[in-house]
Amino acid sequence: MKNRYTITSALPYANGPLHIGHIAGAYLPADIYVRYLRSRNKDVLYICGSDEHGAAITLRAKKEGTTPQAIVDKYHGINKKAFNDFGIDFDIYHRTSDPLHHKTAQDFFLKLEEKKSFVKKTAEQFYDEENKQFLADRYIQGTCPKCAYEAAYGDQCEKCGSALSPKDLINPKSTISGNKPVLKETSHWYLPMQDHEEWLREWINNGVLDGKKLHDPSQWKNQVIGQCNSWIDGGLHERAMTRDLNWGVKVPLKDGDGKVLYVWLDAPIGYISATKAWAEKEGKDWKAYWQNDDTQLIHFIGKDNIVFHAIIFPILLKQHGDFILPENVPANAFLNLEGDKISTSRNWAVWLPEYLEEFPGKQDELRYVLTSLAPESRDSEFTWKDYQTRINNELLSIYGNFINRALVLTHKYYNGVLPECGDYSSEDEIVVNEMNSFAEKVGALIERYRFKEAQNEMMNLARLGNKYLADNEPWKLVKTDEERVKVIMKLALEISAKLSIISAPFLPHTAVELQEMLNLKELNWDNYSDELMPVGHQINKAHLLFTKVEDELVAMQVEKLQKSKILKQVPLKEKAVINFDDFTKLDIRIGDIIEAKKVPKTNKLIELKVKVGENVRTVVSGIAEHYSAEELPGKKVSILINLEPRKIKGILSEGMILMAENSEGKLAMISPDNEAIESGSVVR
RNA sequence: GGCGAGGUAGCUCAGCUGGUUAGAGCGCAUGAUUCAUAAUCAUGAGGUCGGCGGUUCAAGCCCGCCUCUCGCUACCA
């Protein structure tokens, strides 16, 4: 173990509140780890903050008629408070809109520029005048100059496979607006990631950099190594580190006008600027946490962030030259909810601020459940029923109940003061030995990022306590052997005290409460083997640590979830008003599907032959996930027939089948409800 | 379609580089017990380790094919 740790949790994007999936994935595991290390008296810095840049926030501001700053201010406030109330113990919760961050990111960028880590390229790039933005290669389509395929992309023709540049395309179009884009000159700084493949492969797979062993790759998750190798083996490419945007960290160069740093360059540097902000306040040296070989850097993230933390950011850190690389990137998978993926847009989530409001004082209950169900190596699922079961049958029955019986008996027999007593019996010594082994067992599991297992091991100490009481039955012995009862109660309380230490990383609020009841203060991991309950020690009044989760509560939460899901289905903003002439431009007819077959090498596409009056048209439609090719022939559908024909996967599509889509993405055909409507009938 | 990660007891999950009768917690059954929020303790029943084939003295673990789930990516006017 090293002595200094820099722990980060992914910066939450400041355009929405946090839900239990975020917590289980990146924040709770890190918090457990951090609390453990602090208890071991390590020098630990735990940092996080809001990620406030990027195009998504500007788009949202535009939509809501407000400013990006107003959006990020709102969610920064909400999330900071939620983390604090829940008990995620950051040293600092910073934000990337802070001037200190802008300065830090710009300095970092300049250093890389100075080291010639970037390749600057000036090029004429297509620009969408309607949306006022430059278009990435993939956002442009046109006719391939080599094979005349009409839907080739700006970077490659899917038909003939030739690599293209957008300007090669004949008749280019913006895929966003459909308009013809204009050429405008712009320049960007690119990171040539392909130059870094060799050392990355060695560093990720063997933990070795420049001949030095930096980490043990067997401690990295399969998922992380697998995904990195997949990227590296597929060949890394240069990636633009700047964007034409006006929201973000300005490119600090003369020719950087109107450009900002790419959000994935900017955000991880947020970890560094947060450290600086903290160090400034605390009078510490921030460099110790980032530029010292005796410091371990660990990034806790969700699986969607793997490449950024395990490939791109390490390249940047190494290029800069002064920084250490992450020792591990323990990425978690995703948490599902009641049989369905958590979805912000469908409002299918348990929101942290709402939980905190509806379940005051029940942070540790949620922590316990989320750690039990944590998606450490694959996706897992949270249900309210599970929440109830885990709390009632484990946390309350095993932990809460053991503490309660130990304290209640002590009060009953000795008014809460430990009496003078004899030595442990030889059977007691076995229990004592077992008890003493827990600190190391639990610690070792936490150090290997096995939080679920670690928590269960912690619970085994409470189980040991329950078994000790059941085996020794002090409530019976009290009538025959009072001296023996004193020893038993002392050991039971000793177990309780030790439980307060090893449960603290998982259940910090409970641990404090328990230590108050036991009249103990400021215990940490290193106190574990001390005698914590000496003769004469007075304990405080006992109260219950947990309350039962009732069936009604579970039912209520499930119902609330279902209801809020429906609420989200209210129609989106209406589009601009059109006149009748506009409407009559659409030629919509009823058609009969006479033939259907799946388009090879695609998941969603079906090629249809639709008979409209006397004509038969070919239409390619993205409905294969909702209809099989076999069930389609014979169906009547509405079809827009005067839509400009377009080639899709090499097939000319002459029209568009009208479909209704609900909030879950389910599709249904718009069909006449009357057999008298024959093929070719006009829809209006 | 390409790539990555998964598919182990009713549920949630462990099983490190292949090696004795495949593990844990919860649930379930039976018994014990009453200090404790009907909580606890003991014992037990549950698995052809997604399917098929192969390598090996030996496979949940290695190889091939298939299938299902999730993620990234492509396609969805």
In a domain, A514, yes or no: yes
Burial class (CB in 10 A: 0-12, 13-18, 19+), A114: exposed
DSSP bridge partners of A295: A4
- A394 lies in the same domain as A512: yes
Overall average pLDDT of the A175-200 stretch: 82
d(CA A9, CA A26): 6
- A592 lies in the same domain as A473: no
Overall average pLDDT of the A527-550 stretch: 94
Taking only the tens place, the pLDDT of each residue in A496-529 is: 999 999 999 999 999 999 999 999 988 999 999 9
Higher pLDDT, A205 or A8: A8
Overall average pLDDT of the A449-455 stretch: 91
Give the total residue count for chain A.
Answer: 684
Per-residue model confidence (pLDDT) at position A509: 96
Per-residue model confidence (pLDDT) at position A600: 64
- A312 lies in the same domain as A358: no
Q: Please name the residue ranges forming H helices in A448-507.
A: 451-472, 474-477, 482-502
Per-residue model confidence (pLDDT) at position A107: 96
Asked if A158 CB < 7 A from strand B, the reply is: yes
Range of the domain at A85: 4-135+181-332
Instruction: Specify the CATH number for the domain of residue A490.
Output: 1.10.730.10
Query: Of A332, A363, A393, which one is at a domain's C-terminal end?
Result: A332
Task: Report, in ranges, which bases of strand B sit under 7 Å from a protein C-beta.
Answer: 1, 3-7, 11-16, 24-27, 33-37, 39-42, 69-72, 74-77
**What percent helix, strand, coil does chain A show, rounded to 5?**
45, 20, 35
- A202 lies in the same domain as A299: yes
Helix, strand or coil, per DSSP, at residue A44: strand
- A204 lies in the same domain as A285: yes
Query: B53 C1' – A223 CA distance, angstroms?
Result: 28
- A581 lies in the same domain as A435: no
- A245 lies in the same domain as A328: yes
The 10 Å CB-count burial string (b at 16+, else e) for A276-300 is bbbbeeeeeebebbbbeeebbbbbb
Confidence band for A571, pLDDT divided at 50, 70 and 90: very low
For residue A665, pLDDT over 70 is answered with no
Q: A4-8, A82-86, A250-254, A277-281: which range is least confident on average?
A: A250-254
Per-residue model confidence (pLDDT) at position A41: 94
Overall average pLDDT of the A453-460 stretch: 92
Confidence band for A656, pLDDT divided at 50, 70 and 90: confident
Asked if A97 CB < 7 A from strand B, the reply is: no
d(CA A506, CA A504): 5
Asked if A217 CB < 7 A from strand B, the reply is: no
Q: Are A166 and A172 in contact (CB under 8 A)?
A: yes
d(CA A67, CA A149): 42
- A312 lies in the same domain as A382: no
Query: Of A527, A552, A585, which one is at a domain's C-terminal end?
Result: A527
Q: What are the start-end ranges of the E strands in A361-492?
A: 380-382
Query: B3 C1' – A233 CA distance, angstroms?
Result: 10
Contacts of A364 (CB under 8 A, 6+ apart): A506, A507, A508, A509, A510
Distance of CA A49 to the CA centre of its chain: 14
Asked if A510 CB < 7 A from strand B, the reply is: no
Helix, strand or coil, per DSSP, at residue A242: strand
Asked if A386 CB < 7 A from strand B, the reply is: yes
Query: B72 C1' – A235 CA distance, angstroms?
Result: 15
Query: B40 C1' – A351 CA distance, angstroms?
Result: 35
In a domain, A14, yes or no: yes
Sheet strand arrangement including A331-332:
A92-95, A43-50, A4-9, A295-302, A331-332
Query: B61 C1' – A222 CA distance, angstroms?
Result: 15
What percentage of chain A has pLDDT greater than the value 70? 90
Q: A66-75, A257-266, A524-533: which range is least confident on average?
A: A257-266
Overall average pLDDT of the A613-635 stretch: 79
For residue A569, pLDDT over 60 is answered with no
Per-residue model confidence (pLDDT) at position A113: 93
Q: What are the φ/ψ torsions at residue A342 (nearest 5 degrees)? A: -65, 130
Q: Which nucleotide is nearest to A412 (CA to C1')?
A: B35
- A521 lies in the same domain as A643: no
Instruction: Specify the CATH number for the domain of residue A62.
Output: 3.40.50.620
Average pLDDT over all residues of chain A: 86
Q: Are A518 and A496 in contact (CB under 8 A)?
A: yes
Asked if A452 CB < 7 A from strand B, the reply is: yes
Q: What are the φ/ψ torsions at residue A566 (nearest 5 degrees)? A: -70, -40
For residue A603, pLDDT over 70 is answered with no
What token pair was written down for A190? 């690119």
Side-chain-facing half-sphere of A160: CA atoms under 13 Å: 13
Please state whether beta strands A259-261 and A242-244 pair in parallel, antiparallel, or not at all (unpaired): antiparallel
Q: Which helix (H) or strand (E) holds A50?
A: strand A43-50
In a domain, A612, yes or no: yes
Confidence band for A584, pLDDT divided at 50, 70 and 90: confident
Q: Which nucleotide is nearest to A402 (CA to C1')?
A: B36
- A113 lies in the same domain as A218: yes
Query: Of A512, A527, A542, which one is at a domain's C-terminal end?
Result: A527
Q: Which helix (H) or strand (E) holds A83?
A: helix A68-86
d(CA A33, CA A9): 11
What token pair was written down for A397? 């029955």
Q: Which residue is nearest to nucleotide B27 (CA to C1')?
A: A389
How many domains is chain A partitioned into structurally?
A: 3
Q: Which residue is nearest to nucleotide B1 (CA to C1')?
A: A601
What percentage of chain A has pLDDT greater than the value 90? 48
Q: Which helix (H) or strand (E) holds A355?
A: helix A352-358
Q: Which nucleotide is nearest to A647 (CA to C1')?
A: B77
Q: Which nucleotide is nearest to A492 (CA to C1')?
A: B35
In a domain, A159, yes or no: no
The per-residue DSSP string of A614-640 comes to TEEEEEEES-TTT--GGG-TT-EEEEE
- A269 lies in the same domain as A361: no
Per-residue model confidence (pLDDT) at position A250: 93
Contacts of A678 (CB under 8 A, 6+ apart): A590
Chain A residues 328 to 357 with C-beta below 7 Å from nucleic strand B: 333-334, 341
- A322 lies in the same domain as A388: no
Taking only the tens place, the pLDDT of each residue in A69-127 is: 999 999 999 999 999 999 999 999 999 999 999 999 999 999 999 999 998 888 777 77
For residue A651, pLDDT over 80 is answered with no
For residue A21, pLDDT over 50 is answered with yes
For residue A480, pLDDT over 80 is answered with yes
Burial class (CB in 10 A: 0-12, 13-18, 19+), A480: exposed
Please state whether beta strands A295-302 and A259-261 pair in parallel, antiparallel, or not at all (unpaired): unpaired
Per-residue model confidence (pLDDT) at position A279: 97
Per-residue model confidence (pLDDT) at position A137: 62
Confidence band for A469, pLDDT divided at 50, 70 and 90: very high
Q: Which nucleotide is nearest to A379 (CA to C1')?
A: B70
Higher pLDDT, A14 or A141: A14
Per-residue model confidence (pLDDT) at position A572: 45
Instruction: Specify the CATH number for the domain of residue A644.
Output: 2.40.50.140
Higher pLDDT, A344 or A80: A80
Higher pLDDT, A590 or A154: A590
Taking only the tens place, the pLDDT of each residue in A116-165 is: 999 888 877 777 777 666 766 656 677 665 555 566 666 555 444 444 56
For residue A413, pLDDT over 90 is answered with yes
Taking only the tens place, the pLDDT of each residue in A294-338 is: 999 999 988 888 888 989 999 999 999 999 999 999 888 888 888
Query: B6 C1' – A376 CA distance, angstroms?
Result: 12
Per-residue model confidence (pLDDT) at position A567: 57
The 10 Å CB-count burial string (b at 16+, else e) for A307-329 is bbbbbbbbbbbbbbeebbbbbbb
In a domain, A684, yes or no: no
